[in-house]
Amino acid sequence: MGALLLLAALACCFTAPAMAQQSSITVVSFGGTTQRTLEQTLFVPFAQASGIRVVPSEYNGELAKIKSMVDSKSVVWHVVQAEGPEILRYCEEGLFERLDWDAISDTALLMDDAARECGSAVYTWGIALSWDASRLKTAPTGWADFWDTEKFPGKRGLRKRAIYNLEFALMADGVPLSEVYQVLATKAGQDRAFAKLDQLKPHIQWWEAGAQPPQWLAAGDVVMSSAYNARIANAQKEGYQLDLTWNGGMYGMDYWAIPKGAANQQAARDFIAFALRQDIQLEFSEIVPHGPTNLSAIEKLSAEAAHWIPNSTENLKQVLAIGDEFWSDHGEELDARFIAWLAQ
């Protein structure tokens, strides 16, 4: 659908009183190339269709800022981006408004977990096993290969956090995707994951910034690494021969949320509803390798975009959804154990 037709079709969704009374909203996301693409594919079209100006801002996900606003009843942000575990945890604590999904979207049109009580999925992102094809002639096929230091000698890159690594360790130890969180929820399963990490510990180079894995792979500092899909896709666009396998990869969702007590909440809800539309999500995902959460948009992805997106039709069969509930409940204790394990 052309831009003018799309805007005309959406104009009916916004009333004149809403436009007059809710002339602007501040939308806060994580910055960088992704935010600039959101501005291009979402913020500007929404403003044109609704008459509601979008003021972009960014933060590093530090929810203490939002909590301070809510506690002092001086909320100046209208819509914020937050990660899945934080959406669950702080929804329960009253930091975010609960969403009326009957008024926002038909949730049957969306992926599972895209419609949370206090959050609406922005997009999916993924983390997977990656390597440099110009240096590694035999492609690894999964986490068992990642742990095989005889077949694939050299350093491995892993993020310096408990999350992801415990799941990868269990997969490498033969736990099926469907049972990973069931096993990890037990003390025996956690011990098993750490014991598996023990086997690889001397070979691990720990990364803390998402830019590090592609840099290390291209430089030959590591032979393989866990890495965010968008980083690997962007490196390949720049001419590096980096690739990834989605076998045993993981994906999560970031969410739009409305801080408790924010002004202009109808405009914020209109923005969230607009962000779920097929054409809006599809255009974004064809530019940035983050996946749509609208099911019909997923079906329309180009083959090139689908390769890099964790929840494309083919890739979704072999990836694990990050357990937001699990990490919301167990994150603090497992992070503490992981830090102690690193120091051993």
- Mean pLDDT of the region 101-128: 97
DSSP label at residue 117: S
pLDDT band at 137 (very low <50, low <70, confident <90, very high): confident
DSSP label at residue 333: H
**pLDDT tops 80 at residue 13:** no
φ/ψ of 206, rounded to 5, equals -85, 130
pTM above 0.85, yes or no: yes
Q: What percent of the chain has pLDDT over 90?
A: 91
Domain 3-124+253-314 has CATH 3.40.50.12160: no
pLDDT digits (tens, 9 = 90+) for 222-267: 999 999 999 999 999 999 999 999 999 999 999 999 999 999 999 9
pLDDT, position 319:
98
pLDDT digits (tens, 9 = 90+) for 113-126: 999 999 999 999 99
Q: Hey, which CATH number is domain 126-251+317-343, 3.40.190.10, 2.102.10.10, 3.30.479.10, 3.20.20.80?
A: 3.40.190.10
**pLDDT tops 50 at residue 54:** yes
Terminal-residue alpha carbon distance, the chain:
59
Question: Which residues partner with 119 through β-bridges?
Answer: none
pLDDT, position 293:
97
**pLDDT tops 80 at residue 89:** yes
- Mean pLDDT of the region 182-189: 98
**pLDDT tops 50 at residue 16:** no
CA-to-CA dists, residue 174 to 179, 273, 313, angstroms: 10, 41, 24
Average pLDDT, the chain: 93
Is there a contact between 44 and 7 (Cβ–Cβ < 8 Å)? no
Q: What percent of the chain has pLDDT over 70?
A: 94
Range name among 21-25, 179-183, 218-222, 311-315 with the lowest pLDDT average: 21-25
pLDDT, position 155:
98
**pLDDT tops 90 at residue 22:** no
Each as own residue / partner, the long-range contacts of residues 233-239 (CB below 8 Å, 24 or more positions apart, any chain) are: 233/289, 233/308, 234/33, 234/289
Q: Which part of the chain is CATH 3.40.190.10?
A: 3-124+253-314, 126-251+317-343
Q: Which residue has the higher pLDDT, 321 or 23?
A: 321
**pLDDT tops 70 at residue 18:** no
pLDDT, position 17:
39
Q: What is the DSSP string of 280-309?
A: HHHHHHHHSS-B-SBHHHHHT--HHHHHH-
pLDDT band at 62 (very low <50, low <70, confident <90, very high): confident
Is there a contact between 214 and 133 (Cβ–Cβ < 8 Å)? no
- Mean pLDDT of the region 301-305: 96
- Mean pLDDT of the region 76-86: 95
